[in-house]
Amino acid sequence: EDHEAASSGIFLRLEEALLKLPPGVQQQVVASFRPLKAEVSRRLAEWTNEFNDWLNEAGQMQPAKLQTQDLGELLQEVESSPQL
């Protein structure tokens, strides 16, 4: 558990550093690290699951009750990720 928390912290710091680089360099760095590739894959899967959950819930709700803020926050998180 401590190792997992430390790894997450490392990835967060790396993500912050990546934001300072041009997009092409970001892609080269990401492609160079297997653990980073695994983290990106995990995050993509997590976002996909969250998006699918939102779509399922939205399909069962009346339009006036949709929580579009939740979708907006998810999309902002995805958009702000330097690995994509």
**What is the tens place of the pLDDT at every residue in 30-39?**
788 777 778 8
The 10 Å Cβ neighbour count of residue 60 is 8
**In which element (H, E) is residue 19 found?**
none
Query: Both tokens of residue 1?
Result: 């558990």
pTM above 0.85, yes or no: no
Q: How confident is the model at residue 77 (pLDDT cuts 50, 70, 90)?
A: confident
10-53 pLDDT, tens digit each: 878 888 899 999 999 988 887 887 777 788 888 889 989 988 98
